[in-house]
Amino acid sequence: PQYFSYSVVLSLLACSVFLHISSIGKLLLMVGIEATFLLLVEGPHAALFDNADLLVLANALVVSGELEPLGWAEAGGSLGGLGAASGALVWAQFWGLGAKLGLLWVGEWIFGATGEKEEMEELQAYNRRLLHNILPKDVAAHFLARERRNDELYYQSCECVAVMFASISNFSEFYVELEANNEGVECLRLLNEIIADFDEVLGRGR
């Protein structure tokens, strides 16, 4: 008969590990299992527990005036089932709380890593825009293709080359990194447009 009690305890523990079931659902399920167990113990299978009491008393060589079933197995199974149900419910609460905290920690870690990745991608895009405002696209692509040494030079053979030395007065005072000009990108774009205008003038046919 004790195996019936062990089976009920295992069933109660199995009910407590389901995270998708609410606490009320677990409580109702455990109460249903325990009520079914008590009905079987007190009903059709009561003789099994009575015989178990007789065997326990006989093996213990308990001598009394009359040997009557004392209901120890029934009482022990019932109390054990109730205790197991209570313990399983409490354990399920702690298990669910720990699992939720673990999921929250994992979620924060994942979202934090995603946020850092997005910030890094935004910074890379910002640096790429700055580089494209300073260098031609093919030259920038050459240096961005792979990691290169700082002293590595770039050269390109052209049939017609023009070199211009020019300066923009007070450009250092004009260049200010503010939120209004996209942290200085607009200033560099203006400089790039000026250089592009000079390139267009130099490229005109004479």
Which among 89, 108, 127 is the end of a domain? Answer: 108
Q: What is the pLDDT of residue 84?
A: 56
Which among 86, 108, 130 is the end of a domain? Answer: 108
Q: What is the pLDDT of residue 83?
A: 58
Q: Which residues constitute the domain of residue 12?
A: 2-108
User: Are residue 103 and residue 161 in the same domain, yes or no?
Assistant: no
What confidence tier does 73 reach under pLDDT thresholds 50, 70, 90? very low
Give the total number of structural domains in the chain.
2
The C-alpha atoms of residue 18 and residue 27 are separated, in whole angstroms, by 12
Model pTM?
A: 0.30
The C-alpha atoms of residue 206 and residue 204 are separated, in whole angstroms, by 6
Dihedral sign for Cα atoms in the order 103, 106, 112, 114: negative
Do the domain assignments include residue 152?
A: no
Instruction: Pick left, alpha or beta for residue 170 (phi over 0 → left; psi -120 to 50 → alpha; otherwise beta).
Output: left
**23 residue type, one letter:** S
User: Are residue 87 and residue 183 in the same domain, yes or no?
Assistant: no
The predicted-structure confidence for 135-152, as pLDDT tens digits, reads as follows: 777 777 777 777 777 677
Residue with the bigger pLDDT between 85 and 77: it is: 85
* Residue 121 confidence (pLDDT) above 70: yes
Do the domain assignments include residue 206?
A: yes
Instruction: Residue 83: count other Cβ atoms within 10 Å of its Cβ.
Output: 12
Do the domain assignments include residue 136?
A: no
The predicted-structure confidence for 19-68, as pLDDT tens digits, reads as follows: 666 667 777 777 777 777 777 766 666 666 666 666 666 666 544 444 44
Do the domain assignments include residue 97?
A: yes
Do the domain assignments include residue 138?
A: no
What confidence tier does 158 reach under pLDDT thresholds 50, 70, 90? confident
Comparing CA positions, the residue from 80, 83, 88, 82 lying closest to residue 26 is: 88
Is residue 70 classed exposed, middle or buried when 0-12, 13-18 and 19+ CB atoms within 10 A define those classes? Answer: middle
Give the rounded distance of the alpha carbon of 205 from its chain centre: 63
